[in-house]
């Protein structure tokens, strides 16, 4: 069994910019810069033979390159508690098209449809143990964040292992955009 997800790996320039926003909130678990990514589709635990089918389906996808622009910050809440801080993504037809093609390809190989609506973001921190007032202040201080557009030339199939401190993400296969 292997735990998989499909994502855009962020270039070093964006990783550096995002890492400068991290810190300063006690109880927040900040994502390590090498783990920054934009999830296109979480797959979860699959058998190795299914992982091969996923790879084959993803390798058949044809999409054009596009520019990715990160903009703004926000939070995800669950049961009235802020659980994560994230960086937003400007609306982008190329990104939406790629995500749709990935979803279709994965359903064709028998994966269940994704239940959640696609909400592109980059998670910066898990915050279930952080004081809410500090999180609100952080969002207010950084809500005008904007990064210059970066060209996206491939997407990646990652495996992940959950660890004590943080998960370990391994890029398994890169798929070129044309």
Closest CA to 109 of 57, 159, 40, 175: 57
In sequence order, the β-bridge partners of residue 155 are 175
Dihedral Cα 8, 11, 14, 18, nearest 10 deg: 70
Query: Catalytic residue at 121?
Result: yes
Cα dist from 15 to 48, 130, 133, whole Å: 31, 23, 26
- Exactly one of 97, 121, 142, 154 is catalytic; name it: 121
Q: Which position has the token pair 């491939």?
A: 154
Query: Catalytic residue at 37?
Result: yes
Catalytic (active-site) positions: 37, 121
């Amino acid at each position: 069994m292997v735990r998989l997800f499909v994502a855009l790996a962020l270039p070093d320039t964006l990783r550096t910019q995002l890492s400068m926003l991290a810190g300063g909130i006690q109880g927040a678990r900040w994502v390590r810069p090498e783990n920054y990514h934009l999830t296109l589709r979480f797959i979860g635990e699959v058998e190795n033979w299914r992982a091969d089918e996923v790879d084959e389906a993803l390798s058949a996808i044809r999409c054009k390159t596009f520019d990715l622009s990160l903009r703004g910050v926000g939070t995800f809440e669950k049961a009235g508690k802020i659980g994560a801080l994230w960086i937003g993504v400007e609306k982008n037809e190329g990104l939406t098209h790629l995500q749709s093609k990935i979803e279709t390809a994965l359903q064709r190989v028998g994966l269940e449809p994704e239940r959640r609506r696609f909400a592109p973001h980059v998670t910066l921190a898990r915050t279930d143990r952080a004081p809410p007032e500090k999180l609100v202040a952080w969002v207010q201080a950084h809500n005008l964040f904007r990064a210059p557009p970066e060209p996206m030339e491939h997407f990646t199939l990652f495996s992940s292992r959950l660890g004590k401190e943080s998960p370990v993400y391994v890029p398994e296969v890169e798929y070129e955009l044309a």
